[in-house]
Amino acid sequence: MAFPRNVVEELLVSCHRYCCVCQKFCGSKIEVHHIVPRSEGGEDTFENAIALCFDCHAEIGAYNPKHPKGRKFSPSELRRHRDQWLKLCSSISPFRTIEGLPQITLTEKDLEDFNAMFEKLRVDDPRLTQHLVRLLFLKGGKYPDRFFAFTMEKLSSTNEEDRWKAAEIVKEFSHWNYPRVDIELLNQMAIDDFFGVRSVVATVLFDISRANPTVVPLETVYRLVLNDDWYVHTPALATLKSLSPTRPVALDLILELFRIGDDDHKDLALGALKDIGEVNPEVLSEETLEPLLHEGSQRSLATYQELKEKLNNLPKEKKQQYYPF
């Protein structure tokens, strides 16, 4: 006997024809395996079935107890692989309607046709973008590269909203795998005419500054700090604050902002220095604060004294290590 057709169909639909062990897309190159072999009393039921790619199926069958090498797949482990993957499939199913967005669902066809799917994305609700990027990732590398190339193309579109939607994709992508986000691409986004794109890249740079401070392009961050738009310069300045303990140049750039001379930039710089004084006062020194002393305004002098006071009484225990914005 073999598995009845309805059991096979139910399983292949539930797993989206992905291998339950290595989570590779298999298409027709998939097999349904008995978790407990029929020779040992295993039944032809859904409970005893797991969908596997040819490689994993061969791996599982190849274990020789007379010459034990490596670790055998046990029936209970295989069952857990299956249950884990099916649970993920049901929670991220492309066919599932997103809560609160009843009209928008991604179909398997959308995943093949990025343009159709891109039409459905909305900048005012990131959930679909998040869902999509997660899905592309969990589907074992079938789509991400192709999709990323597509996103880059959209970033050069003449349509503002398309560029914004593409920027949101880059942002979600960076949450999943920031080392794979091209820094050149981020630089490109930072000089976009549209503030929405610049705002997104500023938040991406902030996220990266916390994950891996060394790769953040400081010139790009500084360019964003000089933007008039609050939604752009606030996360960019938060990035400089966040980098100040590991990259001294970040602190120099905040002082550079102070030296520009107009009140708005001075206020931003003084605010940033005060925040650093709260979170990482050891980053500051009397020497770095000197420009505040010589500038002459009451505000600068007050900030200088406040921070100098902090330096004289450095707390023994560190406070929170992040800068919310």
Instruction: Report the interface residues with Zn ion, using CB under 5 A.
Output: 19, 21-22, 53, 56
Indicate the residue among 18 and 114 with the shorter CB distance to Zn ion.
Answer: 18
**Residue appearing with tokens 């790769």:** 215
Smallest gap from Cβ 57 to Zn ion, in A, equals 8
Indicate the residue among 22 and 301 with the shorter CB distance to Zn ion.
Answer: 22
Smallest gap from Cβ 78 to Zn ion, in A, equals 12
241-275 b/e with 16+ CB inside 10 Å = b? Answer: bbbbbebeebbebbbbbbeeeeeebbebbbebbeb
Residue 28 Cα distances to 6, 51, 81, 84, angstroms: 17, 11, 20, 22
Smallest gap from Cβ 322 to Zn ion, in A, equals 40
Smallest gap from Cβ 35 to Zn ion, in A, equals 15
Smallest gap from Cβ 224 to Zn ion, in A, equals 44
Indicate the residue among 51 and 250 with the shorter CB distance to Zn ion.
Answer: 51
Closest CA to 187 of 152, 142, 139, 149: 152
Note whether 56 and 19 are within 8 A (CB): yes
**Residue appearing with tokens 């003084």:** 270
Indicate the residue among 19 and 186 with the shorter CB distance to Zn ion.
Answer: 19
Note whether 38 and 105 are within 8 A (CB): no
Dist CA 74 CA 71 (whole Å): 9
What DSSP designation does 92 have?
Answer: S
Indicate the residue among 16 and 131 with the shorter CB distance to Zn ion.
Answer: 16
**Residue appearing with tokens 């066809």:** 109
The CB-side HSE value for 173 (13 A sphere, CA atoms) comes to: 23
Indicate the residue among 82 and 233 with the shorter CB distance to Zn ion.
Answer: 82
Dist CA 110 CA 114 (whole Å): 6
Which uninterrupted H or E stretch holds 49? strand 49-53
Dist CA 203 CA 236 (whole Å): 7
Indicate the residue among 22 and 152 with the shorter CB distance to Zn ion.
Answer: 22
Smallest gap from Cβ 56 to Zn ion, in A, equals 3
Beta bridge partners of 49: 34
Indicate the residue among 77 and 264 with the shorter CB distance to Zn ion.
Answer: 77
Beta carbons within 8 Å of 249's beta carbon, 6+ residues apart: 218
Smallest gap from Cβ 236 to Zn ion, in A, equals 44
Percentage helix, strand, coil, to 5, in the chain?
A: 65, 5, 30
Smallest gap from Cβ 79 to Zn ion, in A, equals 16
Smallest gap from Cβ 243 to Zn ion, in A, equals 42
Indicate the residue among 104 and 138 with the shorter CB distance to Zn ion.
Answer: 138
Dist CA 311 CA 299 (whole Å): 18
Dist CA 8 CA 51 (whole Å): 9
